[in-house]
Structure 1
Amino acid sequence: MKVKSFPYRLYLVISEEACTKHNFLKVAEEAIKGGVDLIQLREKKDSTSQFLNKAVELKKVLDRYRVPLIINDNLEIAIKSGAAGIHVGNTDLPPTEIKKQWPQCEILGYSVEYLEQLYNEQTYTSDYLGISPVYNTDTKTDTITTWGINGVQEIRSKTKKPLVAIGNMKASNAQKIVEAGADCIAVVSAICSASNPFKAAQLLKQEIDQGIKNRAAALKF
């Protein structure tokens, strides 16, 4: 199976509500300057028009830095905003259907909440897998499995797909999760709630990069 290139290491999941100290557009821009290289807009409570307006405004910021925009769970918004991709869970529109309705989709993410998902057509169709959640989090409570480090290791042993770890990710645990097999760390509050989103992103990226180096070194032995 050919695996699509996924060069991203630090993934920000942003919403206006999550940005408690700064405007969400400012948070996004400062986070990019600090090292974020992929941003997902997640607005569960907005109307379609509100969500679309935010997506369009966010994309203007991201385009200046050539950072892709991912839309959470809303194909209409993804298409209309000109986003690079979409992320869905196992109760959302399936990736196979997304590919039919939106063949131009460049980045298609799919959340893995139980091991059996690794062997279905939706996983095979996706460009990356979200390990959701690694640790319990207040931002997403309707989940099935809390994976932990052992779960990340097990998923890594069973698939070559790029893995994005999300769920209470922060600078203090990012390195270990990457060492366990994640290719990318996704965060919400670690950047959105930070007083200095630039520094928060910078620290996270440093921890991720160190984890990648440690994993590569370990594989040599």
Structure 2
Amino acid sequence: MNRQEAMECFKSFPIYGITAEAMSAGRSNAEVVEAMLKAGVRFVQYREKEKSGLERYRECLQLRELTRKYGAAFLIDDFVDLALAVDADGVHIGQEDLPPQAVRKLLGPDKVIGWSTHGPEQLQAANALAGVIDYIGTGPVYATQTKKTAVPVGLEYVRYARENSLLPFTAIGGIKEHNLQLVREAGADIVCVVSEVTGAEDVAAKVRALADIMA
């Protein structure tokens, strides 16, 4: 799919899926991602930093096939080379990764770029790059197991993003079923829920329950 179609996927469903095999109750990423897709998730990010390059490549080929089957966008966290190798629909990068302008140069004009932001200054930098990047992540909203050293920015930053971001955004970090309503009320239309989904006994049922709260 092209960049515009991928961003339509981003906006089409309130739950943004991210892999976390270590928090998937012994299941493979393919099993968990397919359950997400069956429940309506249309935007999936592959985030596995501890695996070898070959493991990541093989897994992403599988996930690329799955996401195509369900008409979902597929992004890779950090690894621009891997995204190109498996023809992903884009990448998600952090503040310590290659700059967005460099990533855009590598990916060309028709892939999605998401950029993590952690406060107003970074959000304003993202606003200045609207057109280079397509959406931002805002967080971590709460303390999170997936990034233990990250300092939570709270609901206040979600509210700030709602009022000030020129780009679509997704709230991320420590978001669970019990606090999701607060994140929604702060202004998030799209949320990344990681371990709460990947570790759920019934992944599809959990996704649907979260989507109902966001409705």
Superposed pair shares fold, TM > 0.5: yes
**Alignment equivalent of 1:102, drawn from 104, 107, 117:** 107
Runs of 4+ in 1 over 6 A off after TM superposition: none
- Tell whether 2:30 aligns with 1:25: yes
Give the 5 Å matches for 1:21-170.
21-120=26-125, 123-124=129-130, 125-143=132-150, 145-170=151-176
2:168 maps to a residue whose letter is P
1:105 positional shift:
4.3
Q: Partners of 2:45 and 2:26 in 1: how far apart?
A: 19
2:69 maps to a residue whose letter is R
TM-score (norm 1): 0.86
**Gap regions ≥5 residues in structure 1:** 210-221
Between stretches 83-92 and 30-39, larger displacement belongs to 30-39
1:12-35: per-residue Cα shift (whole Å, max 9, x none)? 110322212422211111111122
- Tell whether 2:181 aligns with 1:175: yes
Indicate the RMSD between aligned Cα atoms, in angstroms: 1.9
Percent sequence identity over aligned pairs: 30
1:30-78: per-residue Cα shift (whole Å, max 9, x none)? 1111222211111101111111111111111111101111100000011
TM-score (norm 2): 0.89
2:145 maps to a residue whose letter is D
For the residue of structure 1 that corresponds to 2:157, the secondary structure is helix
Aligned length: 206
**Gap regions ≥5 residues in structure 2:** none
**Alignment equivalent of 1:207, drawn from 203, 206, 213:** 213
- Tell whether 2:11 aligns with 1:7: yes
For the residue of structure 2 that corresponds to 1:17, the secondary structure is helix
